[in-house]
Amino acid sequence: MSTIAILGAGEIGGALARQLAASDVVSRLVLIDDKGSVAAGKALDVAQAGPVDRYSTSLSGTDDVSAVTGATVVVFADRFGPAGEWRGEEGLALLKRVAGLNQMAFFVCAGTDQQLLIERGVGELRIARKRLFGSAPEALRSAVVMLAALEAKAAPTDVSLSVLGRPQQAIVPWDEGSIAGRSAPQVLTAAQLARLNARITRLWPPGPTALAGAATRLIRSALTRSPRVHTALVALTREEGTAGRSAMLPLTLSPSGIDELVSPALSTRDRVRLDTALRA
């Protein structure tokens, strides 16, 4: 019986429990929070919606971190209350403990302030980078796709774009993007592209529902072996940028985590912009 463990019953964690349960990608989901009664209450609420929305995922809530043992996926979300996302020294200590309890699962950082957790998890704790990545950039990419679709008066499903770099220095290589089968610059005017570029920095951070949707999308693709390309926050090697840092990059996923990084076909200008962002 496969299990997803969500660490944190805050806004992101609760929304993620609902979306993952409804996706029916695993048979069991456990919500873990220091406030065990809150985790159990949210798990019960989501479980009671199962017959209505026709999903059969089993849910439970607890304050026992050892419940991550045996899970297929462990998600670092946000705690109930003012503490919020798992990050900083507390987050790193939890990641170290969880990695000791579960040496097979891949770990998804679902929040927007967990870059250092990914970087230090790979650099200091020596967790294989294929097992630890952030899903929030997929929410940012989805927002850019939506805005581009509005500008082009097209359906979002007709828009294919990448978002690269650091979350606060996002780069959209428009030349490699497409809208309804045509190159994005052939569809959008220079003024429209400038307007979109100006709005990108204001799209970060995404809200809890978007973050939960992004994490669900990546986890579903991983567990179902989908060939779909997503955008995630990944620890860099020296060959890719500044070792010890992280960046938003396109990739494919498998049940063991990151399957392959996908190298975008960048223009010289976009390559320089990306290299500058990665080494900033």
CATH code of the domain in which 13 resides? 3.40.50.720
Whether residue 91 lies inside any domain: the answer is: yes
- Does residue 29 sit in the same domain as residue 93? yes
pLDDT at 279: 75
DSSP readout, 21-47? Answer: HHHT-SSEEEEE-SSHHHHHHHHHHHH
Tokens coding 92: 């790193």
Measured between alpha carbons, how far apart are the two ends of the chain, in Å?
Answer: 44
- Does residue 81 sit in the same domain as residue 154? no
Whether residue 274 lies inside any domain: the answer is: no
Read off the pLDDT of each residue in 179-190 and give the average, rounded to a whole number: 97
CA dihedral 261→267→271→273, nearest 10 degrees, is -120
Q: Dump pLDDT digits (tens) for 248-279.
A: 999 999 999 999 999 888 999 998 988 888 77
CATH of the domain at 143: 3.90.110.10
With beta carbons less than 8 A apart as the criterion, state whether 108 and 230 touch.
Answer: no
Whether residue 84 lies inside any domain: the answer is: yes
From 79, 104, 129, give the residue that closes a domain: 104
- Does residue 25 sit in the same domain as residue 91? yes
With beta carbons less than 8 A apart as the criterion, state whether 132 and 125 touch.
Answer: no
Indicate the pTM of the whole model: 0.95
Pairing of β 106-109 and β 132-134:
parallel
With beta carbons less than 8 A apart as the criterion, state whether 227 and 252 touch.
Answer: yes
With beta carbons less than 8 A apart as the criterion, state whether 172 and 163 touch.
Answer: yes
- Does residue 96 sit in the same domain as residue 8? yes
- Does residue 62 sit in the same domain as residue 146? no
CA angle (117 as vertex; 62, 3 as ends), nearest 5:
35
The domain containing residue 53 runs over which residues?
3-104
Residue 175 binned pLDDT confidence (cut-offs 50, 70, 90): very high
Q: Say how many domains are in the chain.
A: 2
Q: Dump pLDDT digits (tens) for 47-99.
A: 999 999 899 999 999 999 999 999 999 999 999 999 999 999 999 999 999 99
